[in-house]
Structure 1
Amino acid sequence: MNRYDARKQALADFVRHLASLAHRAREGDRAARASARASLARLRRGLDRPPGSAPETLEEVLPYLRAEAREDEYARERELYFLIGSLFARHPGHSQEHRNLGNLGATMRALGTDNPSAVQRFTSLLAARRDQLPDLLRQAVSLAAGDEVPVNYYQLAQDLLDWDADDRRVQLAWAREYWPPQARPEPAPASGTTAPVATQEGNHA
């Protein structure tokens, strides 16, 4: 496995851990529910603070970072894990099946495309630098939570890993989900033409 794939796999494992916390918080026994809810509460404390600045969140994130990461990778991944953890704790969703949903563009589309302020919020996300993403994503996830629109955290985490790609593939993929191609109606027959008449076999003069 190359370094890039290792980063993606570790990030997916972390989101899987978050999903298991949400599951135990709902359906575990009393001790499991209490432990999982405490973990999610600690992660939520980092929601309005710079990633990693809330001491309570450290034990929930640091053990899941890659030990083999280079120093520059470790710093970037640490910020990403703290951000994903706090966003998930704000709006956990309901099950791991949400990994099959679309990207954040689909989430934002479900929140509405005919409201100018909603469109502006989404275009601000598309234009954001990496350091601007935490505040904008907190707003987006809070809106999704308010309307009970699920978020695909598996896809969001992978997309944030690739946010700075030169081809802007993440931003373009989000935009495509938000403004999907529209099916075009079949063109009407040209004036003066008629549709072919079907004939029945065996109907001979």
Structure 2
Amino acid sequence: MSDLAERFVAHLGHLAERDRGALAVLRRSLTFAPGTHPASYPHVERFVPDGHERDALRQALYLVAGLYASHPRHQAGTTLARSFGLLMQHRDSPSIEKRFIALLSSDADGLPELLRQVVSLLSADGRSLDYVALLNDLIFWLRPWALESRDRLRQRWARDFYRTTPDEAPDAVDRSDAA
């Protein structure tokens, strides 16, 4: 799925540069269940492969589109968990850790709202994240039958979050004006 994820995030980057209206539509889609906001279909549906109309891949595409639209700062190699861990180090806030644990504990239904909150906090601090990696991870997280894969994913996110060190924090902040 990595090639699809890379093409999709590049498409979102193009929208961020040239179509602010599309980003507004995709941001609005976060108030709906992933893939149920008809106005967002023109921007996402072309990336949904045949046979995936109702599965985790489609939901993940819509969720990442909305998240990207709310905070269009992609940085390859900086996972959401690592970026959030750096935020915790920077702010030294126990509430950030609590939010992360809630995120790790969430099911597919609660995940979109928790991710929206996490990305909002990252945005407020000017931190970027790797949307390609996030999309690839969400495909597994949203599959109802992939419990073992989801557990491994949660463990990997926990390692990324807890293995951040305070000396990483200043260098990891993206203060660019790029949208």
Give the TM-score range, shorter chain.
0.7 to 0.9
Q: Which structure's relative contact order is higher, taking Cα pairs within 8 Å and 6+ residues apart?
A: 2
Q: Aligned-pair RMSD on alpha carbons?
A: 2.0
Pair 1:112 & 2:88 matched: yes
TM-score, scaled relative to structure 1: 0.70
Q: 1:160 to 1:70 in 2, by over 3 A?
A: closer
Deviation at 1:91, TM superposition (A): 0.1
Equivalent in 121, 130, 155 of residue 172 of structure 1: 155
Pair 1:45 & 2:23 matched: no
Structure 2 unmatched runs, 5+: 166-179
Q: 1:107-147, CA deviations, whole angstroms, 9 ceiling, x for partnerless residues? A: 11122153221111001111111221101000000111111
Q: 1:70 to 1:177 in 2, by over 3 A?
A: closer
Question: Share of identical aligned residues, percent?
Answer: 34
Question: Does the CA-based 8 Å contact 2:80-2:129 persist in structure 1?
Answer: yes
Which amino acid is 1:76 matched to? A
Which stretches of structure 1, 4 residues or more, deviate above 3 A after TM superposition? none
Structure 1 unmatched runs, 5+: 1-6, 26-32, 183-205
Q: How many residues get paired?
A: 158
Question: Does the CA-based 8 Å contact 1:15-1:154 persist in structure 2?
Answer: yes
User: Secondary structure of 2:55's partner?
Assistant: helix
Once the two structures are superposed, the pairs formed by residues 1-205 of structure 1 within 5 Å of their partners are 7-22=1-16, 25=17, 33=18, 36-67=19-50, 69=51, 74-93=54-73, 98-101=75-78, 103-113=79-89, 114-163=92-141, 164-167=146-149, 168-180=151-163
Question: Does the CA-based 8 Å contact 1:10-1:66 persist in structure 2?
Answer: no
TM-score, scaled relative to structure 2: 0.79
Deviation at 1:77, TM superposition (A): 1.9
Larger helix share, 1 or 2: 2
CA–CA distance in structure 2, aligned partners of residues 154 and 70 of structure 1: 18
**Quick check: which has more Rg, 1 or 2?**
1
